[in-house]
Structure 1
Amino acid sequence: MSNQQVAKAADRPLDESRFDQLSYDVVAKSFKVISTIFFREIRTSGYHQIPADKPCIFIVAPHANQFVDPGMVMITSPVRFCPLMAASQFKRKIIGTAARLLHAIPVIRPQDLAAPGAGKTQPRDLISISKTIKVQVEEVISETQIRLASPLNDSDVEALNKEEGVKYKIIPHVDQHDLFDQVHDSLAQGRSIVIFPEGGSHDRLELLPLKVGFALMALGAMAKYPELDVKIVPVGLNYFHPHRFRSRAVVSYGAPISIDKKLVQDFKNGGEAKRDATSKLLQQGRDGLKSVTVNAPDYDVLLIIQAARRLYEPAHRKLRLEQVVELNRRFLIGWTQFKDDPRVIELARKIRAYNQTLKYFGIRDHQVEKTSTATLNAAKTLIVRLSQLMMVAAVGLPATILNSPIILLAIYISQIKQKEALANSSVKIAARDVLATWKILVALVAAPLLFGFYSLLATYYLHTRYSHLSVGNLILIGLALWIGQPILYFTVLRLTENGIDIYKSLGPVFLAVSNPSAAENLRAMRKKLSEDVTEFVNEAGPQALEDFDPKRYERQPSFDSSLTATSRADNSASGFGFLSGANWLDDKWLFQALHYDSESEDDNEVTNL
């Protein structure tokens, strides 16, 4: 692109000042610390594919964790970007401040402008009658009559006839030309952007239909600036229970999508050619997202797929999180092709029965082989672990009680927001996609206040007990206590977390002691089922996947226990060395002696439920 074209790219010049870089990095590093506390482990894959010298549109899905999702991309991407964010969110104090520091591009969403039905409506407006019934106005005939762009179906008409005095909202049409111009100019300046093409966040297992915005932005920018080469990078957010504290996540970057110049020309031609070009790029984006996400039709299928993956013999060793995600995705591809095969139907029946048996004995699949310990040795192990658990509880329980106001308040407010989100959405299942965000936001406000309150109490006690202490010394002591409490809290948190691991590791040991014959039968059941699954996968795999290789995971590096929290070094030079990578929070070595069964959190299963 020529300098003249770049100079005309935006109303405001590209500002790559040190201040802008620092403001972005402060937000990124702050979220990295927050995510290290909230998540137990974050891994990335494919980020080396991101072109550093070209503007990118990162299309991110599934949008399963509201405001946490942009942060996950921010702390794992090697390039800076401008996120697209709903204009209404700029009014929130914490979120809005972060958005302005990131130079986020505000998006005016029509649903945010919805108002109770009154007054005049205009062509292209939407009339929202319920969460599921929305109709577009094609023409306003009179003050009491309008023509709809498409007729209501029979079920909608029947539903409306059952109600009297139907209440409705008018969602005005919003002209997004200014938004598209701003995005085009940002891309022309070399900036990358992040967009969530599903629209709002949700907690479904499958991707929602993608909105066409990212395709229009990419084609529009390249049509406006002929020398511009925009890459579309699919990003999959694969959470292991996204709403739970101390869960895990994998951020997967797919191969960048290059945009065919012919599509750009068709876009410029307009009409049917423009629609076809946009549809083709939209489909490429969907295919790209499917390559980095796990999409199950329902929860029952997901449980079967996850069990089959664990039973598959090459996966018996402990895999890295990103390998778990990839193998789940590949099994789902096979399921889609062979779900009606009688052999698969029979295997699914056996897997359901096996899962029920595990549930009855209260253990996980990966714990079955651990029941093979001799009864006497298992009894010794059980006594040792119970002793360790009591020691951990002696420290963790008082700390949990002291911090219970934060925990209870976070749960209470997040549940209120969950109910509000569910009431206002037609796509959410239980609205769990808002829980993590509000737990974090509440903790960010409540934790400093609670720690400050405890510091004041301790300082007051010292003042009454040791009256000779000066005011200056008391202030210094209070500040030290306020700063030291988060460090102490995180230390106790890690200790408690290991205590939970010890507790979850008791199941197979207790079974080996209390019912060794049942444990032996369970191992035999698992072995036979594993052989059946492995035999079918090795036979049918080449038909489902061109690159199928039964030794694929034997040749790849397995689990690396030294990598926790964020798993890759930080790529941005912010100058804030003490925050870089949040590696100073990686204290696993300190608790290694008390660490058992770290994958016991539902055996590292990817789910949005």
Structure 2
Amino acid sequence: MKRLWLYSVRLYLRIALWFYYKKIVVVKKAEIPEQQPVMFLGNHQNALLDALLIAMSTDRFCYFLTRAGVFQNKILSRVLKSLRMIPVYRIRDGWSNLSNNSAIFENCTELLHRNEALALFPEGNHNLMRTVRPLSKGFTRIIFETLDRYPDIDLKLIPVGVNYQNAIAFGDSASIYFGEPLGAKSVISEYKNKSVQDLKAKVRGELKNLTTHIPHDSYDATFKILEKHRISYLDPEHVNKVISNKKINLKIQKYKKSSQLKPIFKSLLAVLLLGPYLSWRLVVKPRVASPEFIGTFRFAVGISLVPLWIILISLILVLNFGWLLGGLYFLLVLFVSILCVKL
């Protein structure tokens, strides 16, 4: 039953992401091991959507380390845990809770020993800035504890670059770049402190190649130039070449502008989905504290309230006016939704 639940949720989320994003590009530098323990290590810009895009872009069911704050509601906690999300505590969650991480990391070690896939974001926080931030050492602790307990384990580390054209926009495009698997043992030496630093540097270096990395000391100026030229961030290799060439004389791959008809279809969709639209604009969006969560909460409204609204209005139309009108409303919503996103 658990497996069926996971397959059902994955199918539903893949359909939802197809309706939410204009385009999702998945690039795999090498085959992802299917029967080996792996750790997906991704950059972190866009809250929960980063995790969803990684999870939906591979056939492996991942266990995700997730900040403990989202597990406070008991019902939501049960749902998240059923989806293989594991709470991890940070200093902001209280010093007394940090000791819980020992049991959580031990659980991660056992999962890897059972050849499961684990996913986490070693930057430790999320930010919309197009740069790879310094990595925390929490992920290295899991790796070292796993190798200490199971010296013969063939643990593979797979860096993942998640890229957005405009992360907070509805109908955005995204690309997910899976790097080549790294053997965890190959980065380890007899000196643990040096190994930790080498491991962090190696993973961060790989992430810099798999997503846009604008150096901190020239961030504002470089970002303005990239935006001025309407560069496409979906190809990080190209973007990083442009960044390294300060004269910007490479042939720039620009993103395509949306159709001029898109605002019309968006307005029509807002009318067709009036209940969820007003809930988003008047109730949910004003309470979103930071822009990194806008996409996540909009998507949450889309996968929860929108289907319920469509079913409710369709049933009302069927009961009062017959199947023809109810069916037409249902098809019209799907058609307009596709036009809003894909144009």
TM-score normalised by the shorter chain: which range applies?
0.7 to 0.9
Question: Match for residue 225 of structure 2?
Answer: 304
4+ residue runs over 6 A deviation: 364-367
Change (3 A) 1:94 1:59: farther
Instruction: Please identify, of 202-211 and 220-229, the stretch whose mean Cα deviation from structure 2 is larger.
Output: 202-211
Letter of the 1:294 counterpart: T
For residues 458 and 106 of structure 1, what CA distance do their matches in structure 2 show? Answer: 43
Which of 80, 98, 103 is the equivalent residue of 1:99? 80
Residue 124 of structure 2 aligns to a residue in which SS? coil
Q: Aligned match of 2:209 in 264, 272, 291?
A: 291
Q: How do 1:198-217 residues align onto structure 2 when only pairs under 5 Å count?
A: 198-217=123-142
Structure 1 residues 97, 72: CA separation in 2 closer, same or farther (over 3 Å shift)?
Answer: farther
Contiguous gaps of at least 5 residues in structure 2: none
Report the Cα offset of residue 56 of structure 1: 0.8
1:416 aligned counterpart, secondary structure: helix
Cα distance in 1 for partners of 2:226, 2:268 equals: 41
Note if contact 1:56-1:187 (Cα within 8 Å) is conserved in structure 2: yes
Q: Is the 8 A contact 1:198 1:209 kept in 2?
A: yes
Q: Which residue of 2 aligns with 1:330?
A: 241
The correspondence for 1:177, drawn from 102, 107, 110, is: 102
Displacement of 1:287 = 0.9
Q: How does 1:361-440 map to 2 (within 5 A)?
A: 398-419=268-289, 431-440=290-299
Alignment of 1:32 onto 2:14:
yes
SS at 1:238 equivalent: strand
- Give 1:435-446 correspondences, 5 Å limit: 435-446=294-305
Are residues 1:76 and 2:57 paired?
A: yes
Deviation string, structure 1 residues 550-569 (Cα, Å, up to 9, x no partner): xxxxxxxxxxxxxxxxxxxx
Q: Give the TM-score normalised by structure 1.
A: 0.49
Residues 161-211 of structure 1: CA deviation (Å, up to 9, x unaligned): xxxxxxxxxx76435221121111111110110001112322222222211
Q: Deviations over 1:507-528 (max 9, x none)?
A: xxxxxxxxxxxxxxxxxxxxxx
Change over 3 Å in CA distance of 1:416–1:194 after alignment to 2: same
Task: From 35, 43, 53, give the equivalent of 1:53.
Answer: 35
1:187 is matched with 112
Q: What's the counterpart of residue 162 of structure 2?
A: 237
What is the TM-score normalised by the length of structure 2? 0.84
Which SS does the other structure have where 1:187 is aligned?
A: helix
Q: Distance in 1 between matches of 2:92 and 2:36?
A: 33
Give the whole-Å Cα distance in 2 for the aligned partners of 1:172 and 1:365.
Answer: 47
Give yes or no for the alignment of 1:278 onto 2:196. Answer: yes
| Aligned-partner residue type, residue 136 of structure 2 | K
Candidates 149, 153, 164, aligned match of 1:224: 149
CA 1:104–1:497: 2 relative to 1, 3 Å: closer
Which aligned pairs between 1:54-203 and structure 2 lie closer than 5 A? 54-61=36-43, 63-92=44-73, 96-113=77-94, 125=95, 173-203=98-128
Question: Distance between the aligned counterparts of 2:314 and 2:59, measured in 1?
Answer: 39
Letter in 1 for 2:49: V
- By how many angstroms is 1:79 displaced? 2.3
**In structure 2, what residue type is equivalent to 1:408?**
L
Q: Secondary structure at the match of 1:184?
A: helix
Where does the alignment leave 5 or more consecutive residues of structure 1 unmatched? 1-18, 114-124, 126-170, 267-272, 311-318, 336-343, 352-363, 368-384, 420-430, 463-473, 502-609
RMSD (Å), alpha carbons: 3.5
1:247-304 alpha-carbon deviations (Å, 9 max, x no partner)? 100000112222336826x3xxxxxx32221111111111111110101242431242
- For 2:306 and 2:187, locate their aligned partners in 1 and report how far apart those are by CA, in whole Å: 55
8 Å contact from structure 1 (residues 110, 174) kept in 2: no
Contact map agreement 1:38 1:246 (CA 8 A) in 2: yes
Shift of 1:20: 3.4
Deviation, structure 1 residue 455? 3.7
Write out per-residue CA displacement over residues 339-393 of structure 1, whole angstroms, 9 at most, x where no aligned residue: xxxxx3xx79xx9xxxxxxxxxxxx9789xxxxxxxxxxxxxxxxx99xx69x95
Q: Deviations along 1:306-344, whole A, 9 cap, x unmatched?
A: 66696xxxxxxxx9x85x332002222334xxxxxxxx3
Partner-residue secondary structure (3-state), 1:23: helix
Q: Residue type of the partner of 1:332? A: I
Deviation at 1:457, TM superposition (A): 4.2
In structure 2, which of residues 333, 339, 342 is the aligned counterpart of residue 495 of structure 1? 339
Residues 458 and 178 from structure 1, CA distance in 2 versus in 1: closer, same or farther, beyond 3 angstroms?
A: same
CA distance in 2, matches of 1:262, 1:461: 67
- More moved, 449-458 vs 203-212: 449-458
Partner-residue secondary structure (3-state), 1:443: helix
Mapped to 2, the partners of 1:257 and 1:434 lie a distance apart of 31
Using the TM superposition, give the Cα deviation of residue 97 of structure 1 relative to its aligned residue in structure 2, in angstroms.
4.8
| Native 8 Å contact 1:59 1:232 kept in 2 | yes
Three-state SS of the structure 1 residue aligned to 2:158 is strand
1:191–1:20: structure 2 CA closer, same or farther, 3 Å change rule? same
Q: Relative to structure 1, is the Cα distance of residues 210 and 451 closer, same or farther in structure 2, using a 3 angstrom cutoff?
A: same
Contact 1:57/1:214 (8 A) holds in 2: no
**Contact 1:306–1:328, Cα closer than 8 Å, also in 2:** no
Report the secondary structure of 2:107's partner residue. Answer: helix
Residue pair 1:49, 1:253 contacting (<8 A) in 2 also: no
The aligned length equals 337
> CA 1:461 to 1:53, structure 2 compared with 1: closer, same or farther past 3 Å?
closer
Aligned to 1:451: 310
Q: Secondary structure at the match of 2:221?
A: helix
Larger Rg: 1
Q: Measure the CA separation in 2 of the matches of 1:46 and 1:176.
A: 32
Q: Tell me, what secondary structure is at the counterpart of 1:64?
A: coil
| Cα distance in 1, alignment partners of residues 107 and 172 from structure 2 | 37
Q: Which residue is 1:252 aligned to?
A: 177
CA distance in 2, matches of 1:207, 1:106: 23
CA–CA distance in structure 2, aligned partners of residues 309 and 455 of structure 1: 41
Question: Any conservation in 1 of the 2:19–2:337 contact (CA below 8 Å)?
Answer: no
